Amino acid sequence: MKKITTLLAVAVVGLGIQSASHAAVITNWAAWDNPGSFPYADTNAWYNYNYATSANGTIALPGGGSVGVSLTGEVVDGSAFGQSSNAVWSTFNAGGSTFLSANVPQLPPNGDYINLEGWDYPTQTLTFSNPVSNLVMNVISMGSSGNMGSYQFNNPFVILSQNGLLSKVGNELRGNEGHGTIQFTGVFSSLSWSVSSPEGSFYNIGVTSAAAAVPEPGQVAASLLLLGGIGGYVFLKRRKAAKSAAPVAA
């Protein structure tokens, strides 16, 4: 009987875990510091721009604390640093589905982003002061209607949300005026990519808390079936024991 009670308790706990309300998902984005100067001039694109080759920022972690992030790459003059509103992200998030999803419920609250062209300085590397997981990236205006833009990452990713103009080929993200959010799998001390097809774009990097797994209907049904089966087994065992203990008629 003790074994049966233990099995029943385990089943109840398992079902309780599956039906527990999901913890709120939080996404925090990098707050970038202005490099202060943009000493380099583009020499390859069909238009002129100035850029820096490094920037630093901080990401508040959803679970508490923060992590520093440093960029070695192209930072085009005209990036927004510490904006007082998130108007840029909201403008490209018409309908609420461009950047937001169950895994990423918040836009960057301060509107920070990095402006990247990629003509002179195609290789980009983000380095984190401590390893991080659940990395997400917002991308704005990748490519144009007539010119594809693309990032070739060193790590796999999935597209969480978009405006229908982003695509994924292997570890390459492609866009023709594409906006959206992607997520990387694994734990990272750094993240690197190259601008395989230059065309102006904007991005920010963030960390999201792990989304709680949603139980499949079959899993819930299986748990209920297990409970029912154990309950029936207990009933039969007790009934059999009662019959055995009943006095025999003279």
Check whether residue 221 and residue 175 sit in a common domain.
no
Residues 41 and 158 grouped into a single domain? yes
Distance CA 78, CA 206 (A): 21
In this structure, are 7 and 101 located in the same domain? Answer: no
73 and 127 assigned to the same domain: yes
Residue 3 has pLDDT above 50, yes or no: no
Choosing from 191, 208, 225, the residue where a domain stops is 208
In a shared domain, residues 109 and 160 = yes
Q: Which of 179-193, 213-227, 234-248 has the lowest mean pLDDT?
A: 213-227
Residue 249 lies in a domain: no
Asked if residue 232 has pLDDT above 60, the reply is: no
Say if strands 123-133 and 187-197 run parallel, antiparallel, or are unpaired: antiparallel
Of the listed ranges 176-185, 195-204, 232-241, the one predicted with least confidence: 232-241
When mean pLDDT is compared across 165-169, 183-187, 209-213, the lowest value belongs to 209-213
Both 121 and 226 in one domain: the answer is: no
Judge if 15 and 72 occupy the same domain. no
136-175 pLDDT, tens digit per residue, is 999 999 999 888 999 999 999 999 999 999 999 999 999 9
The DSSP code for 163 is -
Note whether 119 and 218 are same-domain residues.
no
Would residue 125 count as lying in a domain? yes
Decide if 247 is inside a domain. Answer: no
Verify that 217 and 187 share a domain, yes or no. Answer: no
Structural domain range at position 221: 2-21+213-236
Hey, what amino acid is at 246? A
How far is residue 21's CA from residue 185's CA, in Å, rounded to a whole number? 25
Q: What is the number of structural domains in the chain?
A: 2
Per the domain annotation, does 168 fall within a domain?
A: yes
Give the model confidence (pLDDT) of 27-86 as tens digits: 999 999 999 999 999 988 778 889 999 999 999 999 899 999 999 999 999 887 776 666
Q: Are residues 230 and 162 in the same domain?
A: no
Mean pLDDT, the chain, whole residue set:
80
Look at residue 174 and tell me if it is in a domain.
yes
130 assigned to some structural domain: yes
* Cβ atoms 109, 179 nearer than 8 A: no
Looking at the domain assignment, is residue 10 inside a domain? Answer: yes
**Structure tokens given for 164:** 């229908």
- CA distance readout (Å), 80 to 32, 90, 126, 213, 240: 9, 14, 18, 35, 76
Same domain, 145 and 200: yes
Which has the closest alpha carbon to 181: 200, 197, 157, 198? Answer: 157
- Show which of 188, 208, 228 is a domain's final residue: 208
Q: Is residue 100 over pLDDT 90?
A: yes
Q: Are residues 42 and 136 in the same domain?
A: yes
The verdict on residue 242 lying in a domain is no
